[in-house]
Amino acid sequence: MKPTAQPVNPATSRKARAGASPPADDAGFNEALEVAALMQPTFPVFLLVHFGIAPEVLDRCFETGVLVERDPGNAGFNCAVTRRRTAEAVPWGRRRCLHRRLATAIEATGGSPNEAAEHYAAAHAYPEARCAWIGFADAACAQKRYGEALAAFRKALEIWPAGEDDPERGRVLQELARCAENEDVLGAAEMAWTELFERAVEEDDLELGIRACHRLADFGRRRCDPVAVRKQLTAAADLAERAGDCEAIAGTRFALAGFLTDRIRLHDALEEIERAERASERTGKPELLSQIMGFHGLLLAMLGRSGEAHRVVDDSLRLALEANSIEAAATAYRRLANLRDYAADYPGERDAQLRAIAFCRSKGVSTGVHSCLSCLSYAFFRTGQWKRALHTAQEVLAARDSHPSLRATALLVRGLITTFRGERRHADALIDEALQGLRRENFVGMEFFALWARATLAEVDGRVADAAAVYTHIRFLWEETEDLHDVLPALIGASCFYARQHQLDALRECVDILNRISARSDTPEVRSVGRVAQGEAARIEGDRAMAIRLMRQAVDDYQQVGAPVEQALVRHRLSLVLAEGAHFEEALRWRREAQRIAERLGMRLILEKLEKEFPAGLAGTVEPLPTGGLTERQRDVLRLMSKGLTNKEIAARFSLSPRTVEMHVANMLQRLHCRTRAQATRKAAELGIVDSS
């Protein structure tokens, strides 16, 4: 028997005979160097001992200075060039043999499976290398070291012969995809799921195929590729039809209808939801049928068929309650609120969302609460309850499990409010982030609002060409949809913009879009926006009487709708055309109404429009109202501050707390873009807000 190798102390290299060189035919010495050259640049000495290198041979390796101690227990070549040349000199066949022996030694000593796999691969022992890499990757996955696991899974797949051990390869592909997604390496995950889909089709594994389609659709969403998303969701639905599984058919058709609805391809979505509804009726699962019926009702409302929509959603709620399905009932309550939105009844939507939230919270349906809160923040924005809108949006953003589309909507609400309050830099960042999220989720309806805000900011900053480009994009985007509702605020913004720029052809295109919408939907909001656009066109064409009549009707219609931004804009535009017609008293009244609405919500952008577009006909009738974008209270504080009063003295004058006055001063400085009270006083004098004498 071969004697057991003894541990070697590299310090023995400091013996007196350290300078001696071993003979060239010293086979043991040469083998030790060959093995060391094939290992990592720094390696454990005990591995050479386990390999079978005799202690006296190791002594000579260290004594000659070829190997040196790196740290206790580990060594390496003294010269990198010597290491490289030694490795290159090992014959091909011997190198493979040494790599295999090293791999088994590493495994036997409990070394890294990843390192063992590298040696097996270098020895062309691919089955062993693959097993070692998979073992290492599985262990790394269990410890959530997804990057290391991903690299090992990839190496295992690179040396995997086609057609060998297919079930295990399928498992590895799914694990690789999971690691890649955790590391945000989406290309690798998508390639894995593409292969899984192809394998599923070949093997007629329809369940796996459907799952692969849904994962590939998610990657399409992240790339903002709606064509790919639709293709994958359609493929999933087709596989479900092949399987003849009614529940799978209902689920896949429902998912496809949801995507088409977000893209506002309503008739295609209606066809899919009707197929989903027929399949769900055969499943015997009332909660599934209720969910699909509720979505069916939403689609009908979006198509302007409100009477049918209410009947279908009421039936879905009744079915959910009879089946005692809490989640389906929560969804039905949300759908009832959505119907109010598409009827342009924003106060009704707000109240219905509050009822839905109360139901969800009483039943512990957290996902339903987040969905309701997102819609509620939007309803608060449309009804002018902006503080509550911001608070509600923040609740959605603070919840870790909020769906990306809900987070994007909450960001959008915050962005819209900051836009109209004139907080330009903050608004730009919020709108950009919201727009990215909306596009990832293919949420076109809310994208119209984000583009409206972007165009508004561009126009206010004097970037007229940029604003025109955004409004053109809005019109082109609408042509790709069947939207009857979400584009309306953007169209009123576009109509007023084109009127200010005297771009009659573009304005007429807005009128044409609104005529097509009104042919299918007759809500107060549709009528209002249509009359504003027609009134602006009549004004440019010189028919002032028609413009006044249409604008007055639009103001009356907006009384039913709410929507303070649009209310202020329409009152302002009406005051302009009235002043042009010498109706000075009425013009002044509507101008003051617009100012009152804008001041109540701190809509600095609207207040700036009132200042910049002051009707020339009112110049001899009333002085312009200098506001600098400030509320009435902020202007009062500024006037006293300009006289040298302290915050405490101002607070006493108005019976306010000093903290409240501090808040007014901070907001005032921000809106005037000033850093100090002195700067604010000088700017206020320039604007005419305070007396400069």
Residue 522 to residue 163: CA distance in whole angstroms = 62
Average pLDDT over residues 461-476: 95
Lowest mean pLDDT among 29-33, 271-275, 560-564: 560-564
Asked if residue 124 is part of any domain, the answer here is: no
Same domain, 359 and 311: yes
User: Residue 30 contacts by C-beta under 8 Å, 6 or more apart in sequence?
Assistant: none
Same domain, 291 and 277: no
Asked if residue 369 is part of any domain, the answer here is: yes
CATH number where 364 lies: 1.25.40.10
Report whether pLDDT(4) > 60: no
Average pLDDT over residues 34-54: 91
pLDDT in tens, 245-295: 999 999 999 999 999 999 999 999 999 999 999 999 999 999 999 999 999
- pLDDT at residue 427, as a whole number: 93
Asked if residue 196 is part of any domain, the answer here is: no
Same domain, 637 and 537: no
Neighbours of 351 (CB within 10 A): 16
pLDDT in tens, 659-678: 778 877 887 887 777 778 88
- The residue from 583, 615, 647 where one domain ends is 615
Same domain, 238 and 313: no
Same domain, 575 and 514: yes
Asked if residue 120 is part of any domain, the answer here is: no
pLDDT in tens, 188-210: 999 999 999 999 998 899 999 99
Residue 692 to residue 642: CA distance in whole angstroms = 9
Neighbours of 28 (CB within 10 A): 16
Average pLDDT over residues 302-325: 95
Same domain, 270 and 298: no
Asked if residue 414 is part of any domain, the answer here is: no
Domain count, the chain: 5
Asked if residue 388 is part of any domain, the answer here is: no
- The residue from 584, 615, 646 where one domain ends is 615
pLDDT in tens, 376-423: 999 999 999 999 999 999 999 998 888 999 999 999 999 999 999 988
Same domain, 15 and 69: yes
- pLDDT at residue 523, as a whole number: 92
Mean pLDDT, rounded, of the chain:
89
Which residue range(s) make up the domain with 71? Answer: 10-90
Cβ burial, residue 522 (10 Å; 0-12/13-18/19+): exposed
pLDDT in tens, 133-142: 999 999 999 9
- pLDDT at residue 663, as a whole number: 78
Same domain, 230 and 321: no
pLDDT in tens, 599-623: 888 898 888 888 777 766 565 444 4
Same domain, 591 and 662: no
Asked if residue 30 is part of any domain, the answer here is: yes
Average pLDDT over residues 624-635: 65
Neighbours of 655 (CB within 10 A): 6
pLDDT in tens, 160-186: 987 776 789 999 999 999 999 999 999
Same domain, 298 and 310: yes
Token couple for 73: 């227990």
Asked if residue 75 is part of any domain, the answer here is: yes
- The residue from 260, 282, 304 where one domain ends is 282
224: left (phi over 0), alpha (psi -120 to 50) or beta: left
Lowest mean pLDDT among 20-24, 214-218, 641-645: 20-24
Report whether pLDDT(679) > 80: yes
Calculate what percentage of the chain has a pLDDT beyond 70.
92
In this prediction the pTM is 0.78
Residue 495 to residue 480: CA distance in whole angstroms = 20
- pLDDT at residue 683, as a whole number: 78
The residue count for the chain: 693
Cβ burial, residue 288 (10 Å; 0-12/13-18/19+): buried
Banded model confidence at residue 690, pLDDT cuts 50, 70, 90: low
- pLDDT at residue 2, as a whole number: 36
Quick check: helix, strand or coil at residue 581?
Answer: coil
- pLDDT at residue 613, as a whole number: 79
pLDDT in tens, 106-134: 988 888 899 999 999 999 999 999 999 99
- pLDDT at residue 5, as a whole number: 39
Residue 351 to residue 336: CA distance in whole angstroms = 11
Same domain, 278 and 342: no
Same domain, 677 and 562: no
pLDDT in tens, 56-76: 999 999 999 999 999 888 999
Banded model confidence at residue 630, pLDDT cuts 50, 70, 90: confident
- pLDDT at residue 411, as a whole number: 97
